[in-house]
Every structure is written in structure tokens, then in C-alpha cells.
Amino acid sequence: MDRRQQILEAAEALFREKGYRRVSVREIARAAGVGPSAVSYYFGSKEALHTMLFPGEAPHKEDVKLRIERAGLRLFAEDGYERVSIRDVAKAAQVNSAAISYYFGGKAGLYRQILYRGTGLISEFTEIVEREKPSPEGILHLYGTFLCRLGEERPAVLRLIFRELMAGTAVFRDFVRERLAGVMAIIHRAAADGVAAGQFRPGLRAEETCLAWAGMVLFYFLSSGIHSDISPERTLRPESYLDEAWGIFEKGVLRPETAEERSGR
């Protein structure tokens, strides 16, 4: 039985036994004998997995907590953390302001939860790195793939992060230390290891390499569709952009001899 089928059978049994709300992705993964990232890789989300198993059945009615998170994400992405009040979120979510304090402990707690949930896909890539131990080049490409998926599945989260990179709040700085710093440490180490192993060109600086690759991938999703204005006759898809961007980036990272070998010389 392959991993995908293992996940399907484990999820179906758990959903039938406990219902949608009481089953977590981590629980499904544990029952299937796989890592949580495998569930996201094959199905995208718990809701998508449930829909595949029970196509005619709505997984659950949107509860108050989720409604608050969705309203908060939209408002924070549009206006920024400082300009959004608890009252604004409550009004958009059609709940009492006290519900936000009850579920999240206030605006900072809500914001932190939105960041954690929204960027969970990126942090999952660390599990694959630890399990499969890809080459330095493979780690950088895998990171780009996860960023691309984040842009496709959670574009509002990217807009939120971009706002923070321009003028970061204290909440975001705490979040970076807690979650994103570990991810960037892996990318930094991969760049340094690639140079040490002779795979990447001598003198390559790990910090600049990390930022350059992340920037190339993220700009596609932050450009507000400018690519359609540049070339209106062609629909540019994220997958084709990622392939092209990686080809350009790879030529700048690899040793000249290696790049020439791959180009067919």
C-alpha cells in the first residue's frame, strides 16, 4: 500500500469514528504512519482530504474561531497590524469583541495564530529535509517549491508577511525568532555546505543567497499580476515561473564547470 492510500484509509476511519472537528492532521499522519507534511503534500489540507473521501458532505459549519481567523487575516493583510482594531475584526467576523479575547487572548494572540497557521506549510519542509536529507542544491529547490505552494494556497499570508518585512511589528519579530529563524538556518546551512562541498561556486555568500532565492520566488506572488501586463498573450503559471527562476538562479549558484556540464557542454 502506498503512502497516499495509507493516509486515505486512516483518515476515513478517524473521520467516521470522531467526526471532522475532533480529528487533526497530526492524528491522521500518526495513524497512517507518515509525517504530517505527507498529508499536506498529497491532499493540501484536512478539508480537501475530507471532501475527497466524502464528496457530498460538508465537513463542518464554519465555527466562530475560524471565522475570526479568516476575518483577521483579510484585514491584517489589507491594512496592517497597527491599523486594525479588535472591533474591526469582530465586526468583519460578525462576533462579539469578547470572543476574540476568549479564543486568542487579544489582538496579538490572534495575529500570532494567523501567522502560525498561514506559514505552517513552509515550516513543514524542515521535516522533509530531516527525513530525506537532500543535497544542498535539493534543499534550496525544495524551499522554492514550498514558497510557491504558499503563494498559491495562501496569497493573503504572503501579503501579510510582505507588510511585516517593510515595517515589522514586535509580534512578528517574536514569530520570526520562534518559527522562521529555524527555516532560514536550514537554507543558510545548505548554501554554506554547497560551497564547502565544491558544488556551489567559491566565494558564494550564504546570507545573500538565501535572500536572493526567496525574493525571486516571492516576487511572482507579490507583483499583483504585473506579469500579465508584460506578456498579455501568455498566461504565466507559478510552476513554469518556478522552473525558469530556478534555472536562472542555479546558473549563478553552481560552479562554472558544473553549470557548463549541465548545459550540455
- Which of the four pLDDT bands, split at 50, 70 and 90, describes residue 203? confident
Same domain, 177 and 242: yes
The answer as to whether 230 is a domain residue is no
Cβ count near 16 (within 10 Å): 11
Task: Please write the tens of the pLDDT for every residue from 139-164.
Answer: 999 999 988 888 888 888 888 888 88
For residue 264, is it within any domain?
A: no
Looking at the structure, do residues 157 and 177 belong to the same domain, yes or no? yes
Amino acid at the residue 261:
E
Domain termination residue (choose one: 53, 78, 93): 53
Q: Read off the pLDDT of each residue in 76-105 and give the average, rounded to a whole number.
A: 90
Cell of 209: 543567497
Count: domains in the chain = 3
* 192/255 same-domain check: yes
Q: How many residues does the chain have?
A: 265
CATH no. for residue 11? 1.10.10.60
Same domain as 139, residue 18? no
Query: Are residue 103 and residue 138 in the same domain, yes or no?
Result: no
Q: What is the mean pLDDT of residues 224-240?
A: 71
74 and 36 belong to one structural domain: no
Q: What is the pLDDT of residue 265?
A: 47
DSSP state of 254: B
With a cut of 60, say whether residue 62 has pLDDT above it.
no
Range of the domain at 23: 3-53
